[in-house]
Amino acid sequence: MQSTLLTSTILPASLFIIMIGMGLSLTLDDFRRVVRYPGAVSLGLFNQLILLPIIGLGLCHLFALTPLLAVGLLLLTACPGGATSNLISYVAKGDVALSVTLTAISSTVTIFTIPLIVHWGLAHFLGESRPIELPILETMGQIFGITALPVSIGMLVRSRNLTFAQRMERPMRIASTVIFVLILAGIVVANWQTLLDALPVLGPATLMLNLLTVGLGWGLSRIFGLNLAQSITIAIESGIQNGTLAIVVASSILYLPEMSLPAAIYTIFMFLTGGAFMWRFGRREVKVD
């Protein structure tokens, strides 16, 4: 996959706009909710921050991915959910407040964990021959600039003009999804042959990653007695990753476009499973569990 104007400039700018839209829907209460609903939030964060990278590492070895593709898959698993997961939870009639809370907290935590996981992945898969050095603090600063900073701007706008933020919340969620789909389509078209060449290897690995994370998210939620709406959201948050962020980090921060291939292919599968949840649960009558 080649680094182009699309991936080096347009994609980071689009992600900045998407994250501002996410911030418009957030309040400080979303971060405090972890204290009021510790069970559901803790399970969701465990799935996103711990279980996903472990599963991703196992799949890297199971499918014997090349070093850069393996690190790219680890990068994807280290990313938080995004505005897309909030929208899917909303349409599927999941617990939207839980979805927003998980996205808010994981987006904050992963500013620190993404560089650490990628740094470890480079050392693990490239070993002594590692030609790539990841400046951890600089990378944290760059991720902060394209995630936490625009989210903070959105939250500030909401605190100053609640009516405007509420009016823009739903259009921004929809616009975020549309922007993401258009950007992904542009990347796929521009790198069609490269993606086709990588599909035989990355297709099974990314599909299994998606099915495992969604399935475990759903299964663990039911085992721990969460209600249906919470279970829907945990499953979605476990399997819907911020692929835009993964592609930006790989292409625009690390300048390793090959590492963005797992995110690009995974996104196709996550939209299919997300669509299945919207179709299956979005038509039901909402009842109190």
Q: Which of 85-89, 171-175, 267-271 has the lowest mean pLDDT?
A: 171-175
Contact 125, 60 (CB under 8 A): yes
CA distances (Å), origin 110, targets 66, 157, 177: 24, 23, 21
Residue 282: which pLDDT band, with cuts at 50, 70 and 90? confident
Residue 60: which pLDDT band, with cuts at 50, 70 and 90? very high
Residue 280: which pLDDT band, with cuts at 50, 70 and 90? confident
Q: Read off the pLDDT of residues 237-256 as tens digits, 9 standing for 90 and up.
A: 999 888 878 888 888 778 78
Q: Whats the size of the chain, residue-wise?
A: 289
With tokens 């990841």, the residue in question is 134
Is residue 217 pLDDT above 90, yes or no?
yes
Phi, psi of 286 (to 5 degrees): -75, 130
**If you ran DSSP here, which 8-state letter would residue 82 be given?**
-
**CA–CA separation, 99 vs 83, rounded Å?**
9
Query: CA dihedral defined by 205, 241, 233, 275, rounded to 10 degrees?
Result: -70
Q: What is the DSSP string of 215-251?
A: HHHHHHHHHTT--HHHHHHHHHHHH---HHHHHHIII
pLDDT, mean over the chain: 82
**CA–CA separation, 8 vs 26, rounded Å?**
28
CATH 1.20.1530.20 assigned to 5-281: yes
pLDDT at residue 163, as a whole number = 87
**CA–CA separation, 141 vs 275, rounded Å?**
34
Is residue 180 pLDDT above 70, yes or no?
no
Q: How many CA atoms lie within 13 A of 38 on its CB side?
A: 1
pLDDT at residue 289, as a whole number = 43
Work out the burial of residue 180: count CB atoms within 10 Å of its CB; fewer than 13 is exposed, 13-18 middle, 19 or more buried: buried
Q: Which of 8-12, 226-230, 240-244 has the lowest mean pLDDT?
A: 8-12
Is residue 195 pLDDT above 70, yes or no?
yes
pLDDT at residue 288, as a whole number = 45
Contact 104, 288 (CB under 8 A): no
**CA–CA separation, 182 vs 187, rounded Å?**
9
Q: b/e per residue, 21-41, with b = 16+ CB within 10 A?
A: bbbbbbbeebeebbeebeebb
